[in-house]
Amino acid sequence: MSGYVGDVVALARKDLLLELRARDTLPAMLLFVVSTLVVFHFALPQGAGDDAAYGLLWVALVFTALFGLARAWVPEREHAALDGLVLATGDRSAIWLAKTVAALAFLGAAEVVALPAFAVLFAPLDAAAVLGVVLASVGICVVGTLASAMAAAGRGREVILPLLVLPLSIPLVVGGVGASVSSEPRTYVAFLCLYDAVFAILSWASFEYVVTE
Amino acid sequence: MSAGEKYVAAAYGVVFLFVLVWVAIIAAKLARLERETGELAELARGRRHDG
Amino acid sequence: MPARITLPTLSVISVALMAAAVTMIFFVAPEDADQGISQKIFYFHVPIALTAYVLFGLGAWKALRVLWTRGERYDLESYTAIHQGTIFGALTLITGAIWAKASWGVWWTWSSNQLVLFLVLFLFYCAYFMLRFSVEAGPRRERISAVYALFGVALIPVSFLAIRLASDFIHPTVFTREGPQMTGTMFGAFCVAWAAIVVLALVMYSVELAGKRTDAHLRELREALGR
């Protein structure tokens, strides 16, 4: 098992180091999420209330995640490294897990900026809302990494990815918004956990079929 | 016809229309298949006469 | 599908069932006391929706077979089932919209969970075709399509749950379609209509599949003849 964990750690580390060196994704995501929030301020009519702002926060988060996921497999594609990686790694699901961890790290970093910015600019966030964001981020990275690998196999991947991820992220938005605005956030948090578990198992088990020739 | 009757007719009409459109698409496909098999048969016939 | 019943027989059964269903719906089943004539939409709308679920499930089942056995045959079957499911999903949306207009006066209502679920599924399965057509034909495409189809059956219950949860905070007003209990003949008409729609779906599925298989055979022939 240490071989599996070792693979995951090494691959995730590679992605993070690559990002630290090239700074391709994270600064763009940060700028994107803050710009989106500013646009939302002008999109919300006067006196729209906090609930509408919470809704828009979720739109911003989903699109920021998409923004990051679109670049998830770019390093491998640019150097045509995915096939080699698939051949070299014993268990292919390790590649998926590592990529998910890396995507989650980027999204998490963007959220570390976005959530305080949201709290300052719009409305306060309580613990349940933050928990909702964390769980939904896990879900969207789990599903998005796989969808991104699927989209990368075809032409027009930039166009396909949002089409694949948006319908899949609707339950996450429901759970996240519910955790933010409901007075009974526990149900929504439990629902997000369920989503994460179901789709993590499914993605983990099926990734191999997506990348092998 | 009352408004309710109109909506019922519309709903069933839409289903009917969908099936018709589907038939039209399948018919177009059949025509294409016929043409392509015809071409292949022509080709096979030519081969037989040659060799 | 085992070909114990041939396609022509199935088509004849489909026509007979459809005729019986229409007769039952319009001439045997009484008019609903509450909703009046517009309740008749129910006899087609709900069976079409249920059949769409069956077709999506069939597509996922065949997708599982693709992953197990790697066969082009199952890929075509899965693709055809999902294609049919999407057609029936679109029909569910349209007939649902007409019903909403007839009974509530609006073309769309977010408080009908079934309709919202179908909208999500419709979008999801439309993306299936975008994905499929963007990847080059081959074993890779078969497997990617299969994985996506499997995600679909996981998404159905999860979305269902999500939409139920969402209706708690988005729109607390609840319309319900559960009218008074169906009487005997109404239930009978519903069952016949459902059977008719399922058989119709089977016929359409088989015809489309035959076309796609012929297409594949033609491609092979063309290669064999050296063109």
Chains B and A touching, counted as 3 or more CB pairs less than 8 Å apart = no
- pLDDT 10s per residue in chain C (227 long)? 455 788 899 999 999 999 999 999 888 888 877 777 888 888 999 999 999 999 999 999 999 999 988 778 899 999 999 999 999 999 999 999 998 888 888 898 887 888 899 999 999 999 999 999 999 888 889 999 999 999 999 999 999 999 888 876 665 444 445 544 677 888 889 999 999 999 999 999 999 999 999 999 998 888 888 75
From chain B, pick out residues whose CB is under 8 angstroms from the CB of C211: 26, 29-30, 33
CA distance A135 to chain C (A): 15
What pLDDT, on the 0 to 100 scale, is given for residue C200?
Answer: 95
The interface pTM score, or ipTM, of the predicted complex is: 0.90
Instruction: Work out the angle at residue A165's Cα, subtended by the Cα atoms of residues A137 and A128, and round it to the nearest 5 degrees.
Output: 25
Between chains, do C225 and B40 touch, taking CB under 8 Å as contact?
yes
Contacting C with CB below 8 Å, chain B residues are: 2-5, 7-8, 10-12, 14-15, 18-19, 22, 26, 29-30, 33, 36-37, 40, 43-44, 47
Give the one of B11, B22, B36 whose C-beta lies nearest to C99's C-beta. Answer: B11
| CA separation for the pair C81, A119 (Å, rounded) | 47
- Taking the Cβ of residue C156 and every Cβ of chain A, the question of whether any pair is shorter than 8 Å is answered with no
Residues of C in contact with B13 (CB under 8 A): none
Kindly list the residues from chain B whose CB atom is less than 8 angstroms away from the CB atom of residue C95: 11, 14-15
For tokens 């207009």, name the residue: C101
Closest-CA distance, B35 to chain C, in angstroms, reads 11
Q: Which residues of C touch A195 (CB under 8 A)?
A: 158, 162
Put simply, the answer to whether A194 touches C169 (Cβ < 8 Å) is no
| CA-wise closest residue to C144 among A100, A149, A162, A161 | A149
